[in-house]
Amino acid sequence: MHPALGAIPHPRRVLVLGGGDGLAVREILKYPTVESVTLVDLDPAMTRLFSENPALARLNSGSLRDPRVHVTNADAFVWLENDTESFDFAIVDFPDPTNYSLGKLYTTAFYRLLGRHLSEHGAAAIQSTSPLFAKQSYWCIVRTVESAALHATPYHAYVPSFGEWGFVIASKEPYEPPASYLSGLRFLDGSTAPDLFRFPKDMLAVDVEVNRLNNQVLVQYYDSEWRRVSD
């Protein structure tokens, strides 16, 4: 998220879709200009657990109890359809598209809704599965974002316990990297960030279809690719 959020000058209003563990919110609150964070997560048990359990609240630095944070337990797709607020930045942190209910959250219809909620210079960072183990799935998400009239900037990082993992920056304007990063980030700065946007040969783009509500091709890609990994 830092490569995207750090590129937005003076972000004030931030939206988090999913992310009920409060870990993304913890990172967002490090930005001094942020005035409000709206967290939309389907599961009230998740947000309550990470708000009230002492051990888990320590992990997210008590972010869900911060007065700048407003938690709503709702279906993100429905919430986007009904809400009219605008945000400078959004994080889309959903589970992988293992079924059609989740697959709808990776469609052109969803990303068009998301785009309506981004401010003029706004952007979003989208969790997008692994470009190494699920190459078709990853590049399907990239292409779907582009088909929703947003600029798509793919990047990846090695995540301990997950492995090589992919993300997409969806933005109203062409992405420009931050001039500098927050001080105190453990692994990211101006010298390491460019490597996130370089893809080796085994993760380069492949030809894929766009994921739409009426085809849900992403779920099919995902099921096929991850089944091969697990076999």
**Distances from the Cα of 96 to the Cα of 106, 149, 151, 163, 171, angstroms:** 9, 23, 22, 14, 21
| Contacts (Cβ under 8 Å, ≥6 apart) of 60 | 21, 22, 23, 25, 26, 50
The answer to whether 221 and 136 have CB atoms below 8 angstroms apart is: yes
Q: Which residues pair with 71 in a beta bridge?
A: 39
The answer to whether 14 and 28 have CB atoms below 8 angstroms apart is: yes
Single-letter amino acid, residue 69: V
| Contacts (Cβ under 8 Å, ≥6 apart) of 184 | 30
**Strand order from edge to edge, sheet including 36-40:** 69-72, 36-40, 13-18, 87-93, 118-127, 163-171, 151-159
The answer to whether 27 and 59 have CB atoms below 8 angstroms apart is: no
The answer to whether 133 and 57 have CB atoms below 8 angstroms apart is: no
Summarize the chain as % helix, strand, coil (round to 5).
Answer: 35, 20, 40
- Active-site pick, 21, 88, 93, 96: 93
Q: Is 93 a catalytic residue?
A: yes
Residues catalogued as catalytic:
93
